[in-house]
A and B are shown apart, each in its own frame.
Chain A
Amino acid sequence: MTDAALPTPRPPRGNFAPRVVGLATIVAGLLLAELLIRTGLINRFIVPPPSEVIEAFRRIIVEEHIFGRFLTTAAECLVAGILLTLFGVAGGVLMHRFKLLQQACETWVASVAAAPLVIMYPLFLVVFGRNALTIIMMGFISGLPPSILKTIEGIFATRKVLVNVGRSFNLTGTQQFRKILFPAALPTIFVGVRLGLIFALINIVGTEFLINYGGLGALITDLAERYDLAGTYAAICFVILVSVLFFLALEKVERWLRPVD
């Protein structure tokens, strides 16, 4: 069981000091980088000063229509995330339910997770066309294996005592799954969804980058080829923002799904 699953209430001040330390470290790192670049210890034509990157935000918002591109990438990631959550969890539950299927396919699924599926983008391009569907499908296909694997792992890792409690209450198979197995497996399932999203995001922006279509991936290529370093770094920050928004949304869903402690 993870710490997050423990029903220990956290004191209000418990998270404040670590957050301040984490944020202060990042700010200190940026200030140090600014200092090293300005003093010439780091070549400014390789690493732009953070102040220039901040300035570049205004430029890429006005000139490069980054919000439109951001929304395109965010929407693609959202659709792929929903798809891989639905199909990944369903696949994992199915494999847990049918042992033979799990024995036959789990190793394959694990192997596919290590396969570089993004290299298959030319095939997807021809099948689905040069549009958002290709990008979404690349994200979905690549994010599916970790989601399935973690679902199986989570259900199997349910403590025996919890399963026995369910049995002692004569729960049916569906009740056992809904009241015991699924809530117990939820943290692990969400680890799988998070990992699935890592794959999906890599492949979505990677495909945008490769086929030069769509949102932020294509913009980063464009800016990098123009040698607009500050703009490139600013666009990368926007991609990180997409990730953060996804995680916040996931956390909301996780809190909603988790039973009250």
Chain B
Amino acid sequence: MAETGRLRQAAPAAPLIGPVALLRTAIVLALLAIWEFLAHSGWLYRDVVPSLVSIARAIVDLLSHQEYYYNLAVTSGEIGIALLIGGTSGLVVGIVLGANRFLSKAFEPYLYYLGPTPKIIFLPICIMWFGVETPSKIALGTVSCFFPVALSVAAGMRQIDRVLIRVGQSFRAGTMQMVLKIYLPAMRHPIINGVRLGFGFALIGVLLAETRLSNKGVGFLIMQADSTFDMPRMYAMLIVLFVVAIGANALIGRLGGLDSIKRT
């Protein structure tokens, strides 16, 4: 009878909005309210913090012009090629250093030392080597994303469960088999994390290169807006750029299955 009674109970109504979404909405609304308050407070110089309405108008204006999509495609292409070259080489170097303690001790310190160098300083060299056109931007993006990928992969290699490696060795797996069957699957998440970080670095490298010396790309458009002090347009471009960057970042994580990581 008790069982029947429990079955007859009406299921509790699911909340329309979950607590996470509620908190997110509250944070976003609070930030927007602070922004609008600052825009009208007069505490900052006029137009430094433009009103949300003018930024929204600028976003609509930006997205309705084909020019922006052309420049976005140019920047995306440069970032994609940089990530491909820098990510692949970083992966190979990371696996080699992570698998071999001798090579790791010999060369990894230099990666750590070169890793934090601000890559924008290599722009004059990239321009000298590759010219003022697209290749110099790709080169800077490649150099930028190589280090985080290599360091993340090398660290990921060392975190692989020794049992998995012994299993591979006991099956007499070759080097390529070890890489494909043991190392890569076991460190999928560090690799994807590295690629995500590498993507961020490549994006920064390419955009900074475009802001410095370029006649196309999103970086060039942002500097154009800055030089004419068209702040709503600049904010619009930053917002769209951030959304695109965040979307691409989330896509990399989703494709790599990072959202499936279970935490205890």
Chain A residues within CB distance 8 Å of chain B: 1-3, 14-15, 17-19, 21-22, 25-26, 46-47, 100-101, 103-105, 107, 110-116, 118-120, 122-123, 126-127, 146, 156, 160, 191, 194-195, 197-198, 201-206, 209-210, 216-217, 220, 224, 229, 232-233, 235-236, 239-240, 243-244, 246-247
Contact = CB atoms under 8 A, between A and B. Distances in A.
B158 A232 contact: no
Contact of A118 (B48, B129, B208, B263): B208
B102 A18 contact: yes
A127 B231 CA distance: 14
A233 B48 CA distance: 37
B203 A116 contact: yes
B43 to A, nearest CB: 10
Interface stretch (B3-11, B110-118, B165-173, B176-184): B110-118
B253 interface: yes
Contact of A243 (B105, B106, B116, B207): B116
Given A114-B245, A122-B226, 5 more contacts: A22-B109, A113-B197, A195-B197, A198-B115, A236-B121
A74 to B, nearest CB: 12
Contacts of B103: 18
Contacts of A113: 196-197, 200, 249
Contacts of A160: 264
Interface residues of B, number: 64
Contacts of B63: none
Given A115-B246, A126-B45, A244-B113, A206 B27 contact: no
26 contacts: A2-B159, A3-B101, A22-B107, A26-B110, A47-B128, A47-B129, A103-B20, A113-B200, A114-B203, A114-B245, A115-B242, A116-B242, A116-B245, A118-B207, A198-B116, A201-B116, A201-B118, A202-B201, A205-B121, A206-B208, A210-B208, A217-B121, A232-B125, A233-B125, A235-B121, A246-B116
B19 interface: yes
A158 to B, nearest CB: 9
Interface in B246-264: 246, 248-250, 253, 263-264
B58 to A, nearest CB: 15
B114 A240 contact: yes
Contacts of A235: 121
A209 B121 contact: yes
B118 A116 contact: no
Contacts of A224: 124
B44 interface: yes
Nearest to B128: A46
A226 B263 CA distance: 54
Given A22-B107, A115-B242, A122-B234, A104 B121 contact: no
A15 B24 CA distance: 50
Contacts of B129: 46-47
Determine the main DSSP class of A at the interface with B. helix
A205 B120 contact: yes
A101 B23 CA distance: 8
Interface in B208-256: 208, 211-212, 219, 222, 226, 234, 238, 241-242, 245-246, 248-250, 253
A206 B115 CA distance: 15
Contacts of B208: 116, 118-119, 206, 210
Nearest to A246: B116
Contacts of B242: 115-116
B87 interface: no
Contacts of A206: 118, 120, 204, 208
B48 A123 contact: yes
A197 B112 CA distance: 11
Nearest to A150: B193
A201 B155 CA distance: 21
A181 B241 CA distance: 37
Contacts of A122: 226, 234
A247 B119 contact: no
A235 B249 CA distance: 34
A1 B155 contact: no
Given A19-B105, A119-B238, A202-B119, A104 B250 contact: no
Contact of B148 (A21, A198, A204): A198
Nearest to A240: B117
B124 A232 contact: yes
B249 A126 contact: no
Contact of B118 (A14, A195, A202): A202
A176 to B, nearest CB: 14
